[in-house]
Amino acid sequence: MFIHESTIEELKEFFLQLNEPPYRAEQLFLRIHKHLSLSVEEFTEFPKKIRNYILENHLFPVLNLNYYESVDEGSDDSGTQKFIFEYQDTKESRSRIFESVWLVSEKRRTACISSQSGCSLNCTFCATAKIPFKGNLSTWQILQQIYQMIHHRNKHVDPKEKLTNVVFMGMGEPFYNYDNVIKAAKILNHPKGLNIGSRHITISTSGVIPGIERFISEKQPFNLAISLNHPFNEERSMLMDINTKYSLSDLLKVVKKYTQIYKRNITFEYILIPDVNMNKEHINELVKIAKSIRFCKFNLIPLNTNFNNWRSPTQEEILKFQEELRNHGVLAFYRGSPGKKINAACGMLALQKGISNELKV
């Protein structure tokens, strides 16, 4: 076990085995998840023998922050920052590289984090799909992306800046790493950790139905988002290979079940690709879907990559699409492409220094 992915109960067990009192568990949890210590040397409230035990048994590894880049001041999305992390797993003798993004808006500070290194799926608009898949991230690797970003921001940007939101929308399909993702979300939500409200934590799936079913049956309190991207089954399969496994109609059935049980909006993410999913027939079908689901909203995201000779929509095309949905009473939002200049926008993770060398295309 690693101490930075253990619950308080698991840490109690750990200290029991070391013949240490149970209160140490909460102390350690606070040290790691509230005070965000990244080095055992900072565990000053613990006796040296405990610190040495942790060090000698390698129970507290840290990620290497390999690279970061910010959007220049003066830009609409200034403050957006991209981070590339690496972890060299000595047991597996290979390294995992993954990326995270810190997004700044007027009211929010959002950490967009990865759940896998690469992705086993192949969404045709996504750069992550073009690099080799290196596996699931463990709970501590998911959490530490956030903790290191906070450290970096507090040290270099604003010592008082606080994280408000977390989205699992970086590299990977979160529901293919369900246990570690949910455990990380619970630790982020924990009152003795960062205490991020469950409604401020969003897990986004490409449509892994068993994961959604499990999420519902476990009554997980976090927000759910679905990467929809096309309203017709066959065409969606061409955009996203997951649709050949879990069809659109089955996906929409389980989404409806979610909204009926949770009585809250589900978010559909929709990458806008001219001539592919932005025509009149697509709008009409999206309106039908929205009416049947009832509790839903759309986040419209312009295509940020240029695979398959597609082009990004113009501002005019985006606003027209949004307006047509809204005219039919559908909630549709457009928040631009923060971080596009630094390859940090949606679909672009892997298009940056370090990882781009591995692109298969």
Tell me which residues touch ligand SF4 (CB under 6 A): 119, 121-123, 126, 128-129, 171-173, 206
Nearer to ligand SF4, 54 or 242 (CB): 242
Three-state SS at 272: strand
- Choice among 123, 126, 296, 346 that is catalytic: 346
Least Å from the CB of residue 127 to ligand SF4? 8
Nearer to ligand SF4, 173 or 324 (CB): 173
14-45 burial: b if 16+ Cβ within 10 Å, else e: bbeeeebeeebbebbbebbbeebbeebeebee
- Choice among 5, 20, 99, 324 that is catalytic: 99
Please indicate whether residue 99 is annotated as part of the active site: yes
Backbone angles phi, psi at 282, to 5 degrees: -70, -40
Nearer to ligand SF4, 40 or 129 (CB): 129
Q: Which residues contact 146 (CB under 8 A, 6 or more apart)?
A: 100, 111, 113, 163, 166, 188, 194
Least Å from the CB of residue 241 to ligand SF4? 8
Least Å from the CB of residue 129 to ligand SF4? 4
Least Å from the CB of residue 171 to ligand SF4? 5
Gap between the Cα atoms of 130 and 123, Å rounded: 9
Gap between the Cα atoms of 67 and 82, Å rounded: 8
Q: Which residues contact 91 (CB under 8 A, 6 or more apart)?
A: none
Backbone angles phi, psi at 317, to 5 degrees: -65, -40
Nearer to ligand SF4, 5 or 173 (CB): 173
DSSP summary character for residue 279: S
Please indicate whether residue 346 is annotated as part of the active site: yes
Nearer to ligand SF4, 206 or 312 (CB): 206
Gap between the Cα atoms of 293 and 283, Å rounded: 15
Least Å from the CB of residue 162 to ligand SF4? 27
Three-state SS at 281: helix
Gap between the Cα atoms of 130 and 148, Å rounded: 26
Nearer to ligand SF4, 20 or 173 (CB): 173
Gap between the Cα atoms of 153 and 312, Å rounded: 31
Least Å from the CB of residue 172 to ligand SF4? 5
Catalytic positions = 99, 346
